Amino acid sequence: MTVPLLLLVNQFIFMLGFYMVVPFLAVFMREDLALQSAAIGLVLGMRTFAQQGLFLVGGAFADKLGPRKLILLGCATRIVGFGILAFSFDFTTVLIGACLTGFAGALFSPAISSLAAKVGDDKEGRARFFAKLAVWGELGAVAGPFAGALLLGIGFKAMALGGAGVFAVAYLILHIRLPREVQAPRRAEDGPWWHVFRDRLFVLFTFAHSGFLLSYNQLYFALPVEITRSGGSETEMAPLFMLASLMIVTLQLPVTRIAQRLPWGFSLSAGFLLMALAFGTVAAFASHAPMGGLLKLAPATLMVILLIFGQMIVKPIAMDIVARMAGTRPTGVYYGALASAGGLTVLLGNVLIGPLLDGALKPGSAAPLPWLILAVVPAICALAIIPIAQAVTKRAGA
């Protein structure tokens, strides 16, 4: 099995194991452990922070120790985390298990991105390979909840042990098949890991990319608000997420091919503008009473479609640009810094926009405000990304 194929299969397995367990974690805490909403929110928030917030740490270690070691260590850590969750009996144990599962992602995700940046050859291209990773990962994300549901009757313990088993299989495959020497050793002239913050162009790009992550995160944070305004229920979110998965699986590669034929700055700007249009569309309906029948979900559906199209354009190209920015330096810390900055932006952005979204739960004059603010973020990024992408292309000599 070649390294590119190994990474694609690994992405599917990782997402399968993750989504077998994590979507059911909140239900387990509420029904089996009888935890309050505040405690559940803290556990889920700490899990996210342990992963997204510590990506920079994982990226720095991936550059120092090599991606292979970090991927295997991340696998082992997630096995332990799922094992603790399987036998959790109170808030403390479930918090420890959840944080370990998150930290595992912080260890292996930047390392996987670093390897993916290396194996994307001239024929396939980095952007196209990252697009393939997205497709294989989405297939795992779709299959995971179904696999977890099969174990639902047995209980959460079975789910968690099943997820640990999936990652154990991944560990064995990677330990045997992942080459030991897949990246050149770190050189003294590469400088310390914090050199990424001295790269002003990368910092500017990170700000713009963080706006993309904040916008994409609204599928989980702001979309339920629009569904509530339209008179829908939580059960109607499932078809919208299925639509998003279907779009990624069927359209990601064609969209990436088209985006690659255009100048990078134009493609990235177009992706950001689609995201701005997604929020602008909801803003146009927010002050009005919901439409009848299935049309009541039209604004939410358009939001999902436009956000996913924007995401499919921006993400693979952005990951390619990061590797071009790194040049001959190790890329792990670059991908780690990009993800950590995005995680912090999502956290702060959601805290700030949250109170305003409360006013969008019902139609009214104040309902469009949070959507318009959300639209401004990717619109600004669309303008900022053009000179940034031009500078990146000039630096890389592309």
In contact, 341 and 210? CB cutoff 8 Å: yes
Q: What are phi and psi of 352, to 5 degrees?
A: -75, -40
CATH topology match: 3-179 vs 193-396 = yes
Give pLDDT, residue 185: 47
Sign for the pseudo-dihedral over CA of 22, 27, 31, 33: positive
CA dihedral 232, 236, 240, 243 (to 10 degrees): -140
HEC-encoded secondary structure of the chain: CCHHHHHHHHHHHHHHHHHHHHHHHHHHHHHHCCCCHHHHHHHHHHHHHHHHHCHHHHHHHHHHHCHHHHHHHHHHHHHHHHHHHHCCCCHHHHHHHHHHHHHHHHHHHHHHHHHHHHHCCCCCCHHHHHHHHHHHHHHHHHHHHHHHHHCCCCCHHHHHHHHHHHHHHHHHHHHHHCCCCCCCCCCHHHCCHHHHHHCHHHHHHHHHHHHHHHHHHHHHHCHHHHHHHCCCCHHHHHHHHHHHHHHHHHHHHHHHHHHHCCCHHHHHHHHHHHHHHHHHHHHHHHCCCCCCHHHHHHHHHHHHHHHHHHHHHHHHHHHHHHHHHHCCCCCHHHHHHHHHHHHHHHHHHHHHHHHHHHHHCCCCCCCHHHHHHHHHHHHHHHHHHHHHHHHHHHHHCC
Q: What residue ranges of the chain have pLDDT lower than 70?
A: 1, 37, 41, 120-124, 152, 181-195, 234-235, 294, 395-398
pTM for this prediction = 0.79
**What architecture does CATH give domain 193-396?**
Up-down Bundle (1.20)
| pLDDT tens string 198-257 | 788 888 999 999 999 889 888 877 888 888 888 877 667 778 888 888 898 899 999 999
Locate 83 and state its tokens.
Answer: 């094992």
Q: What is the dihedral of CA 299, 305, 307, 312, to 10 degrees?
A: 180
CB atoms < 10 A from the CB of 113, how many? 27
Compute the residue count for the chain: 398
* Burial class (CB within 10 angstroms; exposed 0-12, middle 13-18, buried 19+) of 293: exposed
- Cβ atoms of residues 125 and 260 within 8 Å: yes
pLDDT tens figures, 322-331: 888 877 777 7
Q: How many CA atoms lie less than 13 Å away from 26 in the CB half-sphere?
A: 10
**257-291 exposure pattern, b = at least 16 Cβ within 10 A, e = fewer:** eebbeeebbebbbbbbbbbbbbbbbbbebbeeebe
Cβ count near 382 (within 10 Å): 23
Give the side-chain half-sphere CA count within 13 A for 161: 10
Residue (of 240, 208, 167, 181) closest to 13 by Cα position:
167
Tokens of 246: 């279907």
R_g of the chain, CA atoms, integer Å: 21
Domain ranges of the chain: 3-179, 193-396
Tokens linked to 48: 């996210």
φ, ψ for residue 129 (rounded to 5)? -70, -40
Task: Identify the CA nearest to 96 among candidates 111, 81, 110, 107.
Answer: 81
Is CATH 1.20.1250.20 the right assignment for the domain spanning 3-179? yes
